[in-house]
Every structure is written in structure tokens, then in C-alpha cells.
Amino acid sequence: MKKQILALFTIGTVLSTSAQTVLFEDNFDTYTAGTGVVAQNASWSYWSAATNTEALVSSAFASSGLNSVNISGTTNDLVLPIGPFTTGKYDLKFKMLIPTGSTGAYFNALHLWTNASATYEWAGDVFFDASGLATWTTGFVSGGASAPMGLDTWFDVQITADLDNDLGRLYFNGVVANEWQWSLNNANGNAGTNAIAGVDFYGTDASSTDGNYYIDDVQLIESTGVTVKPITAEKISKVSIYPNPTNSNFNIEIPESFVGGEISIIDLTGKVVMKDRILQSTIKRFDVSNLNDGIYLIRMTNGTSQFTDRLIKK
């Protein structure tokens, strides 16, 4: 479910021109595969409270860890409510994969939405065809297509809603694909509501038939202008593994929340090939030069805290 966000301890500060606050993040790794998302986390919602349009957690693909969410067919309509916010700048980021055999995929961003009302307003629609080619409609203007994202591979999607400047941006793999006036009502191009209220993952495609895709590593980030930045005595605030892929050694940054627990390296058969105790918050180095090339799981546990990610050895 939602990952724990750790605070930073600081001694001494400087002004920074920008900062980011993670408002929400979900990698679905603590969920039960084969069970619905909304049933396991009330932060998500159906399109309408009157209709169960549940999407299932899946272990078939994962960008990180073990699970993702499968959006398959028009019976799946999964919404992440956002705010609603009317000021500020927000980045909605997620990983997406379109499998071979899919006819395509679709998602949209919303100015106005509630699962208890039939009053909606779209900020933009994004479609993918069976090859992973993206097209979009924003401000009632159709655009695209981008280079195909490809099939059976994870790619990055980002929607930026800069409400203070009434600007929207769509990114694929870190590259701006489209920019538009965010507040325009996407149904007719008229003046709309300068707000963000949600993102909708709907299991259709560019032909309005059943689509099929997966999402993982969802983040909602708020960007602010001037803030205080720590310059000394900064604790490690999140888990980081690098380099990844590796051919010999890798480092893992271990937050304080895992001290007293253990870290394991597990191959895809489930065999633990390395294990170590976590005695302090630190950057720990592992030598995996003697391991066979392939994919391994890095797992850290300490009571109720758990972290799982993939390491590629090549």
C-alpha cells in the first residue's frame, strides 16, 4: 500500500529554489495478487460508488517488487482521487506496460470528479494502440502520435498540472510529448475548471473496445517554490539501490526504519543466496560478482516495514 515517507533531520539550512513533497505513492507490493485494489486500499476508488469496477492486483508483471495492477476490459475503471487542488503544481507519475496481444490502453486526467456525482470534467485523454503508439486529446484538440512505447516493457508516464500557471504537460520516459492550457474543458475546448481531482485508469483502447495494460509505482508529488534544504547530518530518507544493473558490486542505502531487521538477496526460484543483519542506517555494499547473471529480489524486513525491489546482475 502507501509507502512510509521518512522525515529528514537537519543541522543548518540553506534556501532552495524548489522542493518536492510526495503526497501519495503505491507500488502494490503489500497487496494480495488476484484481489482488487479498492478492496485493499481505500485511497483508490471505483469510477462510481454505485458500480464495482474493481481492477485486480497481478504478479504477472512488476516494474519494482512483486506486483502491479492489471487494467483489463471496460469492467475495470480505477480512479486515484487527487485533492481536489486549485493551486500549486502537481506531478502524477506511474509506470505502464502494454502486453503483447493487447488491443491498446487508455487513461485520463480530471478537473472535476467524485464517485458520488455524475458531474465530471476531463482535463485530457490518452490512448495507446496495439503497438503501444500514444495519441491524446487535450483542450478538445487531438495530437500524437509519439514513438511507440513498445510492448512487454515498462515505460514512464507523467502528467503535470501547474495550476498556478494554468499549464498541463504530458511526458513519456521523461520527454515532453504535449503541452496545453490545463483548465480547458476537454469535452468542447471551452473555458473549464483550473483544478485537478483525479486520474482514471479505464480498460479500453483507441477503438473503444476492451484494452489491457498494467500500472505500477504510482506517485503524486507536489512541487513548491522556496523551501528549506538540509545541508548537514541528513539521514537516509528512502531505500536506493545502485548501480542497477550491475556486473559485480552494488550499494543499498538503508533508512533508519529498517535497523534491527535483515536484508536478503533472493533468486527467482525463491532461494536466498545472501542474507545479512541491518545494524545501522548506512550505505551497505554487496559483492555479487560470483552470482549468475539474471534477476534477483532485494528484500528488507523489520517488523511491519518491508521493502522489495529487483536487482539485475549481468
Any idea where the domains of the chain sit in the sequence? 13-227, 240-313
Separation between Cα atoms, residue 176 and residue 228, nearest integer Å: 29
Mean pLDDT for 149-167 is 94
Separation between Cα atoms, residue 220 and residue 276, nearest integer Å: 33
Mean pLDDT of the chain: 86
Cell of 252: 543499498
Mean pLDDT for 13-22 is 58
pLDDT for 212: 98
Separation between Cα atoms, residue 31 and residue 50, nearest integer Å: 24
Q: Which fold has domain 13-227?
A: Jelly Rolls (2.60.120)
Model confidence pLDDT, tens digit, residues 20-78:
899 999 999 999 999 999 999 999 999 999 999 999 999 999 999 999 999 999 999 99
Cell of 13: 539550512
Cell of 292: 549468475
Model confidence pLDDT, tens digit, residues 223-253:
865 433 333 333 445 788 888 888 888 888 8
Angle at 75 between CA 74 and CA 78, to 5 degrees: 90
pLDDT for 126: 96
Mean pLDDT for 175-184 is 92
Mean pLDDT for 268-272 is 81
Which of 159, 114, 156 is CA-nearest to residue 138?
159
For the chain, give the percent of residues with pLDDT over 70: 89
- The residue that leads in pLDDT, 142 or 146, is 142
Question: For residue 48, what are the β-bridge partners?
Answer: 51
In sequence order, the 6+-apart residues with CB closer than 8 A to the CB of 156 are 93, 94, 95, 96, 171, 172, 173, 174
Separation between Cα atoms, residue 192 and residue 209, nearest integer Å: 28
Class for domain 240-313, per CATH? mainly beta
Between the alpha carbon of residue 243 and those of residues 230, 258, 285, 313, the distances in Å are 25, 21, 11, 10
In sequence order, the 6+-apart residues with CB closer than 8 A to the CB of 5 are 22, 25, 237
Q: Is 44 helix (H, G, I), strand (E, B) or coil?
A: coil
pLDDT for 39: 96
pLDDT for 18: 52
Between the alpha carbon of residue 248 and those of residues 147, 251, 293, the distances in Å are 34, 11, 10
The dihedral of CA 223, 225, 226, 232: what is its sign? positive
Q: Which helix (H) or strand (E) holds 24?
A: strand 19-26
Residue 220 · residue 91 · CB < 8 Å: yes
Question: Global pTM?
Answer: 0.68
Asked whether residue 282 carries a pLDDT value surpassing 50, the answer given is yes
pLDDT for 308: 80
pLDDT for 2: 36
Where does the pLDDT of residue 166 fall: very low under 50, low under 70, confident under 90, or very high at 90 and above? Answer: very high
Where does the pLDDT of residue 9 fall: very low under 50, low under 70, confident under 90, or very high at 90 and above? Answer: very low
* Full DSSP string of 110-175: EEE--TT-S--EEEEEEEE-TT--EEEEETTEEEE--S---SSS-EEEEEEEETTTTEEEEEETTE
Q: Is the peptide bond before 245 cis (omega within 30 degrees of 0)?
A: yes
Separation between Cα atoms, residue 151 and residue 132, nearest integer Å: 6
pLDDT for 304: 67
